[in-house]
Structure 1
Amino acid sequence: MAMSCKFRTVDMHTCGEPLRIVVEGMPPIEGRTILEKRDFAKANLDHIRRFLMFEPRGHTDMYGCYLVEPSPPVPCVTEGDEVVSDDVKAEEKAHLAVLFLHNEGYSTMCGHAVLALARFAVDHKYVDPATAVTRCRHDDARPTAQPSATQPAGDTAMVTASAESAAVECGVDAGGVREVPVNIECPCGLVRAHVEYDMARRRTGRARFRSVPAFVLHTDVYVNVPGYGSGRDASSHAAANSPGRVLLDVSYGGAFYALVDAAQVELDIRTASLELLKKAAAAIKAAVQASLPITHPYSPELSFLYGVIFTDGKDKWQQENDSGAPEPTANVTIFAEGEVDRSPTGSGVTARLAAQYHKGQIALQQQREFIQPQVKGSSFTGTVVAETLYGKKQQAAVIVEVCGKASYTGECVFHLEEDDNIGEGFLIS
């Protein structure tokens, strides 16, 4: 692999999950839309992904992104009531666009990366901090009309929200802090983020983002999974291959996830080894892919199962004590090729909240804390802030807000010597 150029990166983490942002060295990534750019990178530049994500510069759980030119800001295009293009509107132009990278390829949405990129965009002058406004509340979730069946589906502006939406806070001082709005174009669509900005110290802080429409695809379905679940013959010498049934949901939060209470596979996500979690996730993912259709309302390129989220089963919002604080819930996400998220997973939190709201387990504006139990202090908050309709069939969907904190870990310059074949990138399974 000939690679004479050097790559400069800014490295960050969000609640422990890494993000390597490539800021210099990338060749042009062709394509008019973000999905065309993603296809081009997959077909022509995959050696760079392996070079930056794999060992010896990365590892099997490394995560990163390329910065690309945003798609042309044209109106949403529809055919009848079906959205066929989700390009951003002129008044909502993206400040930057990104392609996400991991050990298997290129994901469609990444919440932890969006939270980090919101800081990065302000700190690296993609967005002027002078645009900061004094608001830490959901004042852009004011009630609007519910879309009719003839209006364009998938438009996140066409939502309904409760009157209390302007009074729900994002885990920050009730007196209000300045926030800078940052629009980030992801393969799943435009994601609107806000990042705290201390005007006196000129320092960014916590961030929050509004999801693309999130919805449940399959609810309370049983999937036959060899070696796991109820109904299998655990006493058999062939128990590992004995068929069992696992109850799960499949939900979309910018990517599709299978949501599974870990107790069904006899694992405790707080103490189970990553090897056991990854093994169970691989079996469940294969079973879901073989038995359930995974179909996005209008984009075939988004129609795939990205990962499995093991939860503690505490899906219902309820007060933990007399103070009114809601009880946290824990989850561990295994995505791509057995990659384990160190954060609670932003798109996963979105998918979980969509499922919880669909089942009546949480209401609009009820904020919930989500933790990754194997990383101390790894915590996001999530809130269903509005309802919407999405896709050709106008299916029920929600808009979710996720909040968290990203930190910088360093800056790197990577290069490859001519005779270093190992340095092109490798993984040990």
Structure 2
Amino acid sequence: MATYITTEMHTGGEPFRIIEKGYPEIPGDTILDKINYLKREYDHPRKLIMWEPRGHFDMFGAILVPPDHPEADIGVIFINNEGYSPMCGHGVISLGRYMVDKGIVKNLTIPETVVRIQCPCGLVEARVQYDGKKSGAVSFLSVPAFLYAKDVSVDVPEYGKIVVDISFGGGFFALVPASQFNMEIKSSASKIRAAVGTTLEQLRKDCKVEHPDYSDLSYMYAAIITDGKDEYSEKVTANCCVFADRMLDRSPCGSGVTSRIAQQFGRGLIKLGQTRTFESITGATFKAKPVKSVKCGDYDAVIVEVSGNGYYTGTSTFSLEEDDIIGRGFLLS
């Protein structure tokens, strides 16, 4: 009987299931090699752990693996309802706390401890508030993020012509104001899932993206509906991310707000060091700011600092009996 042990967390209401035991050693020299192996040969545990009856349509999780980057403390493979994510900011925020609390990071320092996490998109440095007894808020520095394309038009079934910007913040994101759908950003989750999900699916068909360094990241990962407030302001700006197979992010989406900062920076709407607050459909907030100008291939890019809070919700032990066919995983959208 297969058995899996997890720690359960959430960031801004978005679940983060950390798989501690159950996976065998995953072949592959790099994290991207390991992901490609899982896609080809060993995808069934992802479905068992993410899908019903143990998970749900919007469940998100992580497999911890040895890093291949010399500076990393841990490597991580992010998993979702469709497959594998290139980056997950809400996951990094929760995982930062977990790394400190579980003693995986040996050099604990006060008032904050640095945790270096090798994500599929690259090395991400997280800083975890730590008072010697308890971990707290987490911030992280993104991989190079950049505005990839402006004003891309796509004809979306039932919604007509939609114009998006495409930005990279660990994955490629399409960014679109809610007004283009004649919607409010606080519309129902089902309306957002339908409109943004349909747009994302059409973009995947019509729009090819190419990362200058990593071909495995060259696909449209997600789309974000925003309140259109892209000009710098100290006031809160709201957004909602739809990714993978129409998953709807409960948090502001760490890599998503990274992409929004990269978009705003690329359009000259925000300066280095200016902090913005991003709100999700749950009311959770992340803070983010551009901190350093860099290059990514030929693109003018920026390093973004994102901060938020992750919380523990429990632990789980999952099992699968050999004759339990339905228990291997299914989804109801």
TM above 0.5? yes
Amino acid at match of 2:306: V
- Which aligned pairs between 1:195-344 and structure 2 lie closer than 5 A? 195-199=128-132, 202-228=133-159, 244-270=160-186, 272-318=187-233, 326-344=234-252
Q: 2:304 aligns with which of 396, 400, 408?
A: 400
Please tell me whether the aligned partners of residues 295 and 301 of structure 2 are also in contact (alpha carbons under 8 angstroms): yes
Query: In the alignment, is residue 184 of structure 1 matched against residue 91 of structure 2?
Result: no
Partner of 2:61: 64
Q: 2:282 aligns with which of 371, 375, 390?
A: 375
Normalised by the length of structure 2, the TM-score is: 0.98
Rg comparison, structure with higher value? 1
Tell me which of 321, 324, 332 is aligned to 1:417.
321
Q: Deviations over 1:294-323 (max 9, x none)?
A: 1111211100011110000111112xxxxx
Three-state SS of the structure 1 residue aligned to 2:258 is helix
CA distance in 1, matches of 2:294, 2:307: 21
Would you say the 8 A contact 2:235–2:276 is kept in 1? yes
Indicate the residue corresponding to 2:272 in structure 1: 364
Question: Over aligned residue pairs, what C-alpha RMSD do you find?
Answer: 1.1
Amino acid at match of 1:181: V
Cα deviation code 1:276-308 (max 9, x no counterpart)? 211112321133223322111121110001111
For 1:88-126, what per-residue CA distance to the aligned partner results, in whole angstroms no more than 9, with x for missing partners?
xxxxx1100000000000010000000011000011111
Residue 112 of structure 1 aligns to a residue whose secondary structure is helix
Residues 1:11 and 2:8 are matched in the alignment: yes
Determine if the alignment matches structure 1 residue 54 to structure 2 residue 51: yes
How far 1:226 moved relative to its partner?
2.5
In 1: Cα distance, 2:192 partner to 2:92 partner: 26
CA contact (8 A) 1:32 1:72 kept: no
* CA apart distance, 1:418: 2.4
State the distance in 1 between where 2:163 and 2:325 align.
46
2:108 maps to 131
Deviations 1:58-82 (A, max 9, x none): 0000000100010153xxxxxxxxx
Structure 2: state its 5+ residue gaps: none
| Counterpart contact for 2:2–2:321, Cα < 8 Å | no
Q: Does 1:94 align with 2:72?
A: yes
Report which of the two has the higher share of strand. Answer: 2
Q: Structure 2 residue aligned with 1:26, among 19, 23, 26?
A: 23
Give the total of aligned pairs: 333
Whole-angstrom distance in 2 between the partners of 1:289 and 1:424: 29
